Amino acid sequence: MVVGSTEMKFTEGEWKRGELIGSGSFARVYKATTNPKQNYMPPLIAAKSAAISKSFTTSSIFLAKESVTLAKLQGNCPHIIGFYGPEVTIDEKGKAYFNMLLEYASLGTLGDRIRQKPGGIPEPEVQRYARMILQGLKYVHEHEYVHCDIKPDNILLVPSSANSSSFDAIPKIADFGLAKKVGKRLKRNQTGVSLWGTALYVAPESVRYNEFEPHSDVWAFGISVLEMLTGKQAWTCDDELSGLLHRVGYSDELPEIPSMLSSTAQDFVRRCLVKNSLLRWSVDMLLDHPFVAINNDKTEAGALDDAALGIPKPQLLDWREIMVNVNSKLDANSRLTSPVKTMVKDRKHLECGRRKRKPGYVICESIRRMLHVF
């Protein structure tokens, strides 16, 4: 496939790639349209793609692992971005891509919203966003995952109705490429810290002890809330990276919380930004804080029903194929051929077998096989 090609046809996954709408360290994100004959995806989706080489590069490994994580988190939380599954595609030059098919967030990111409001987002709007993001984090942590990269640019905004404004948007946690299981230790790099995530949002214990646990997500969330309220970064960037990390992990310095904010907002942020992670409030405690409990009924009213918006819930076991057939240009002995055929075969076996599997099992098991083969 070539972005922008007028001759592009639907793949066997019944979608086609459109314009580039974003890019990151590991992948590019495209707007994509789906074939109206299929019934498990809305008309517009996002395709997050990374090229696959025979050595299976770091980018595609991260994307495959993110697919495993996101598949396990689908189903019961409206504040996790929707995931319709992984698919491998081959372009006309024989180049393979690993794709994640995702819910399309037409209102952009929370970071975009902050940049639109240089003086800060209105406090009632921040309250709404904060409560919903906390609900998403609660769900992630209950499933024994740590996101490890919470920041405004990784929170997507989805309309709550056809004519929704940014104020009425539903925030959804996205970009699980760095997520890890609770309790799993990360390897340190040459500087002695893994730098998992983004430095401006990294928690003190992550810098000092290489510790990334649920309370680390709370710190990053608190930094994000402060940015929403002020419209600017919580930490000044005058220092080099080493200087910033020292301030975060080895000093008593905390980001400045402006006195112009309401006392409730100030207290809420302080509960998040406690250097000692043992004294930092948990997600459950924060959900009971007056800052996000105010107007609770109004905050939650009706805006969370995807069915009312005509957005089908991802049905991870309903797909005919998990991966598209490999382009005939690749030779029969290609390392790509084996996982595709094996995955489809295993999928049918698992669906027809007597033992029931949780939703998402087929995807997770299939990607594990692909990672093993590559």
CATH number at residue 359: 3.30.200.20
Residue 62 shares a structural domain with residue 200: no
**Tokens coding 245:** 């990390």
- Same domain? 121 vs 232: yes
How confident is the model at residue 311, as a pLDDT?
46
Q: Extract the tokens encoding 329.
A: 């240009």
Question: What pLDDT band is residue 34 in, cutting at 50, 70 and 90?
Answer: very high
* Count of Cβ atoms closer than 10 Å to residue 240 Cβ: 9
In sequence order, the 6+-apart residues with CB closer than 8 A to the CB of 169 are 107, 113, 157, 158, 159, 160
Q: Which residues are annotated as a binding site for ATP?
A: 48
pLDDT in tens, 182-237: 988 766 553 344 455 689 999 999 999 999 999 999 999 999 999 999 999 999 87
Q: Are residues 62 and 114 in the same domain?
A: no
> How confident is the model over 110-141, as pLDDT tens digits?
999 999 999 999 999 999 999 999 999 999 99
Q: Taking the alpha carbons of 274, 280, 285, 286 in that order, is the dihedral positive or negative?
A: positive
Shared domain check, 176 and 248:
yes
Q: Is residue 251 part of a domain?
A: yes
> What is the 3-state secondary structure of 309-368?
HCCCCCCCCCCCCCCCCCCCCCCCCCCCHHHHHHHHHHHHHHHHCCCCCCCCHHHHHHHH
Q: Are 17 and 32 in contact (CB under 8 A)?
A: yes
- What value does the mean pLDDT take over residues 289-303? 61
Contact 48, 102 (CB under 8 A): yes
pLDDT at 56 over 80: no
When mean pLDDT is compared over 48-52, 129-133, 370-374, the highest value belongs to: 129-133
By the 8 A CB rule, do 81 and 105 touch?
yes
Q: Which of these, 306, 347, 300, 324, lies nearest to 82 by C-alpha position?
A: 306
Q: Look at residue 10 and tell me if it is in a domain.
A: no
Assess if residue 267 is contained within a domain: yes
The answer as to whether 337 is a domain residue is yes
Q: Is the pLDDT of residue 301 over 60?
A: no
Q: Are residues 279 and 171 in the same domain?
A: yes
pLDDT of residue 292: 98
Residue type, 373: V
Q: How big is the chain by its Cα radius of gyration, in Å?
A: 21
User: Is residue 331 over pLDDT 90?
Assistant: no
pLDDT at 285: 98
User: For 6-10, 66-70, 249-253, which range has the lowest pLDDT when averaged over its residues?
Assistant: 6-10
Which residue in 29, 2, 222, 25 sits closest to 108, CA to CA? 29
* Cα atoms found within 13 Å of the Cα of residue 169, Cβ hemisphere only: 23
Domain boundary residue, one of 308, 329, 359: 308
Cα separation, 306 vs 303, whole angstroms? 8
Please tell me which residue, 347 or 17, carries the higher pLDDT value.
17
4 within a domain of the structure (yes/no): no
Is position 318 annotated as part of the catalytic site? no
Tally of domains in the chain: 2
Q: Can you give the residue range of the structural domain that contains 228?
A: 110-308
Residues 131 and 147 in one domain: yes
* Catalytic annotation, pick one of 91, 112, 149, 297: 149
Co-location of 292 and 349 in the same domain: no
Residues with Cβ within 8 Å of 188's Cβ and at least 6 positions away in sequence, in order, are 194, 210
**And the tokens for 263?**
């006392």
| Lowest-confidence pick of 26-35, 341-350, 359-368 | 341-350
Examine the domain organization and report whether 150 and 127 are in the same domain: yes
Asked if 153 and 301 sit in the same domain, the reply is: yes
Q: Which of 64-78, 310-324, 352-366 has the highest mean pLDDT?
A: 64-78
What would the mean pLDDT of 301-308 be, rounded to a whole number? 42
Residues 223 and 366 in one domain: no
Are residue 214 and residue 130 in the same domain, yes or no? yes
Query: Residue 313 pLDDT > 70, yes or no?
Result: no
Same domain (yes/no): 194, 124? yes
pLDDT band at residue 55 using 50, 70 and 90 as cut-offs: low
Q: Read off the tokens for 319.
A: 């797909």
